[in-house]
Structure 1
Amino acid sequence: MTQNVSYISKGEMLDAIKTHLNMSKNTDFARFLGISSQAVSNWYTRNTFDAELLYTKCDFINPAWLLTGKGSMLKDDLNGIKTIDEANPSFMPTTSMNPSVGTPYYDVDFIGGFDEVFNSQVNIPATNIVIRGFEKASLWCNVTGHSMEPKINHGDIIALRQCTLNDIQYGEIYAVVLDTIRTIKILRRSPDPDKLRFIPINTDGYDEQEFDKSRIINVFEVIGSISKFF
């Protein structure tokens, strides 16, 4: 089951933070963060932000929410109960060049050539990503495109685990390598037993498609996605 994926857009998250700070203008927010107002505007335009900066400057933010958009924005949930262990900084993702620590990250877009990297015996990951909650993943890579927004945003990085057609849980998100294309979609059963339905979350300009199972070369379970933090 896909976990820890974004449920709201980065712009909506920024708006929520500004509201908590009683700020309405980007200029005030930028001054608070110590960056230019243009940088904040770019965050909105590109549907991204500097998670490390926000976590450093906004000590009230629940890092789980900051990374995924899921759950409470505030560290202090109902009746003062902590939503995470504040004393444990290991919740925040880090990178490591130690190949025995974390999960390999390949600096390649899944849509634009991932399978060549995956099938290479000599390709070396750019780094390893260390983050709690993604232990099932076997690798990380980049993702572009808008068809799965707001759950998976353009510019995010995704955690993948290779699986088979028999492993597919209908209604979950998978990254699929077909003979001519690569795509990330919700997979559902088709009336034709030889096909699968590929369903986008964002239906504004993106349509459901069906492909023959025989065209599928590789299938990866999408364990989750986070904003790129490095």
Structure 2
Amino acid sequence: MDLKSRLIEFIEYKGLSVQSFELQCGLSNGAVSKMGNNTRRSTIDKISKSYSDLNTNWLLTGEGSMLLNNPDSVPQKSFTVGVPYYNVDFIGGFDIVLNDQTTKPEYLIDFKKYNEATCWCNVTGHSMEPEITHGDIIALKKIEDKSFLPLGEVYAIVTTNGMRTIKRLGPSSNPKCYTLVPTNKSPEYGIQELPKNMIEHIFQVLGCMKRL
């Protein structure tokens, strides 16, 4: 079995189509079909970043098991430790997380590299694909001090007029504004300006993954 065959085995194990896998990893259309033993390390790194439970040594050599057994690298459902997962969408329902403190999470997600997050919730929409895909869940870390926000990072933003969006934050020629930059380069998605004083709540998007 060669590298491509092993990768397809992993994709099938995840229940994905090859195309959706390529989108999730930020690979070009048809990239999987072209893979072989000379596949670039940068491509393997993109796959590993998107699917941290994949044993890249197995992918490259066929040795060992397909999945990593290290609990620190694999997300787990829990009811005792981890970050709350709310089965609501950030775009349309996240207000109950912000405003109703009696709302209980569906479960906790114990995923060591994202356990500093405030919560996990769902994503809808395609403006951040392939970086964040429609149907993913995202780890959000609430930022209390909005006076300095590092640019170039992806944020989930709630505005004073009730709009919710997930975008990369960029600079603006107007010092009183930021720009909201989509990953998706389709013409229907464009860069928008957002006045800084319209940001009511903001969360850094630490990472995303498929629902457990």
Structure 1 and Structure 2 fold alike (TM over 0.5): yes
Distance 2:169 2:72 in 1: 33
Identity percentage over the alignment? Answer: 37
Return the match for 1:44 from 2, 12, 17. 17
Show the counterpart of 1:201: 183
Show the counterpart of 1:162: 142
Task: Please report how far the alpha carbon of residue 113 of structure 1 lies from its aligned counterpart in structure 2 after TM superposition.
Answer: 2.1
Does the aligned pair in 2 maintain the 1:65–1:73 contact within 8 Å? Answer: no
Show the counterpart of 1:186: 168
Does the aligned pair in 2 maintain the 1:115–1:177 contact within 8 Å? Answer: no
Unaligned runs of 5+ in 1: 1-16, 24-28, 34-38, 49-61
Instruction: Give the secondary structure class of the aligned counterpart of 1:170.
Output: coil
Does the aligned pair in 1 maintain the 2:7–2:59 contact within 8 Å? Answer: no
Task: Please report how far the alpha carbon of residue 79 of structure 1 lies from its aligned counterpart in structure 2 after TM superposition.
Answer: 8.9
Does residue 94 (structure 1) correspond to residue 58 (structure 2)? The answer is: no
Does the aligned pair in 2 maintain the 1:67–1:226 contact within 8 Å? Answer: no
Aligned residues: 182
Pick 1 or 2: higher relative contact order, CA cutoff 8 A, min separation 6.
1
Task: Please report how far the alpha carbon of residue 78 of structure 1 lies from its aligned counterpart in structure 2 after TM superposition.
Answer: 7.6
Q: Counterpart amino acid of 1:20?
A: S
Show the counterpart of 1:222: 205
Report matched runs for 1:12-161 at 5 Å. Answer: 19-21=4-6, 43-44=16-17, 47=20, 65=47, 68-69=50-51, 74-76=56-58, 86-98=68-80, 101-161=81-141
Distance 1:108 1:87 in 2: 30
Task: Please report how far the alpha carbon of residue 22 of structure 1 lies from its aligned counterpart in structure 2 after TM superposition.
Answer: 9.0
Does the aligned pair in 1 maintain the 2:3–2:61 contact within 8 Å? Answer: no
Could you give the per-residue CA deviations for residues 98-130 of structure 1, whole angstroms, max 9, x where no partner exists? 2xx100011100011213322212111111001
Distance 1:22 1:198 in 2: 35
Question: RMSD across aligned C-alpha pairs, in angstroms?
Answer: 3.7
Distance 1:171 1:218 in 2: 18
> Structure 2 vs 1, CA of residues 18 and 182 (structure 1 numbering), >3 Å: closer, same or farther?
farther
